[in-house]
Amino acid sequence: MKAAVLHEIGGVPRYEDFPDPVAGDDEVLLDVRAVAVENVDKLIAAGTHYASRHYVDQLPAIPAFDGIGALPDGTLVGFGNPRRPYGALAEKTVVAKGAYMPLADGIDPATATVLGTAITAMSLKTAAGFVPGETVLVQGATGVAGRLAVRVARLLGAGRIVATGRDDDQLREVRALGADAVLNTSAPDEELERAYREAGADVVLDYLWGRPTEILLRALVPRSFAFPKPTRLVQIGESAGAALTVAAESLRTSGVEIYGAARRLDAATMQELYRQVVAWTLSGELTFDLVRVPLSDIETAWQRTDLRGRRLVVVPG
């Protein structure tokens, strides 16, 4: 079969022949129909993600650990965790029985690869207890996940949406998606802190962490002995840095509450969120910006830097 094959940590996967997988007694063979290439896939291949040792512990290997495929009877399913070294970026892969779930009727495979990103944005509701009418701040709104978060916040009934990013042109695009105000995080520290303070937020969906969030937490410290309404911050990503320094007063006096995106998640809740995202997708209320490329173009596609908030999806060919 043909596959995207990674020969060295930090390398670029190449389109070439790879031995066909053979399913064991408790496994199933899948024909791969669509795979979203995300930042996490590139970090794992580069050896800089904490899960790198697990997914590329033997080389050569095929990157990506989830996607959409067809069972032997043709049923379309979302799958995860192929048996190493077989990843998702191939014509075929092999997974354990039960490591997949049927695709909702009416959702095409390429779109289905991005539903999980929209579900993560629903942590606004599950982790933070969002109430319609509240102000939502999306930290890192110019990427794929951030743009979807703006759309999801609007669908959930946000009263006001503030979006941040470093590129003014892309921030204008995000405003057209539904953000009421935008902030450029490349501003000097004092200017950015003032902008955060003036913007205000009930809930923050944070895809950045690092410097912008450190400044945001400083901005939340009250200037008097008032009892402010707590701001609930949901930590999702770390594209601006994996660590930050939190001043004691940021927590002691502001009442800020910091949660992980997986807070309050269980199997039943995930199913509920999935059904809601699917319903929005089928109705056209939630749309996805995709760039579809054939598997044969993986080497060039892997290195693209012009996606501007669109998700790269690899399809057969």
Model pLDDT for residues 211-224, shown as the tens digit of each residue: 999 999 999 988 77
Provide the whole-model pTM: 0.91
Given a cut of 70, whether residue 17 has pLDDT beyond it is: yes
How does pLDDT run across 104-132, given as a tens digit for each residue? 999 999 999 999 999 999 999 999 999 99
How does pLDDT run across 51-71, given as a tens digit for each residue? 788 788 889 999 999 999 999
Domain ranges of the chain: 2-115+289-315, 128-260
Give kind and range of the element (H or E) at residue 219.
helix 210-219
Angle in degrees, 0-180, between the axes of helices 168-177 and 144-155, rounded to the nearest 10: 30
The single residue listed with the structure tokens 């402010």 is 228
User: pLDDT class for 49, splitting at 50, 70, 90?
Assistant: confident
In angstroms, what is the C-alpha Rg of the chain?
21
For 176, the token pair is 């057209």
Query: What does the alpha-carbon distance between residue 216 and residue 204 come to, in Å, rounded to a whole number?
Result: 10
Query: What does the alpha-carbon distance between residue 143 and residue 20 come to, in Å, rounded to a whole number?
Result: 35
Give kind and range of the element (H or E) at residue 196.
helix 189-199
Amino acid at 3: A
Query: What does the alpha-carbon distance between residue 234 and residue 222 come to, in Å, rounded to a whole number?
Result: 20
Q: Which CATH superfamily is domain 128-260 in?
A: NAD(P)-binding Rossmann-like Domain (3.40.50.720)
The single residue listed with the structure tokens 């923050």 is 204
Answer for the pair 231, 258: CB distance below 8 angstroms, yes or no. no
CB atoms within 10 A of CB 246: 13
In CATH terms, the fold of domain 2-115+289-315 is: Quinone Oxidoreductase; Chain A, domain 1 (3.90.180)
Quote the pLDDT of residue 52: 82
Given a cut of 80, whether residue 300 has pLDDT beyond it is: yes
What three-state secondary structure class fits 294?
strand
Given a cut of 80, whether residue 226 has pLDDT beyond it is: no
Percentages helix, strand, coil for the chain, rounded to the nearest 5? 30, 25, 45
Q: What one-character-per-residue DSSP string does 8-65 give? A: STT---EEEE-PPP---TTEEEEEEEEEEE-HHHHHHHHT-STTHHHHTSSSSB---S
Q: What one-character-per-residue DSSP string does 115-176 give? A: HHHHHHHTHHHHTT---TT-EEEEETTTSHHHHHHHHHHHHTT-SEEEEEES-HHHHHHHHH
135 pairs with which residues across the strands?
160
How does pLDDT run across 164-184, given as a tens digit for each residue? 999 999 999 999 999 999 999
Answer for the pair 210, 241: CB distance below 8 angstroms, yes or no. yes
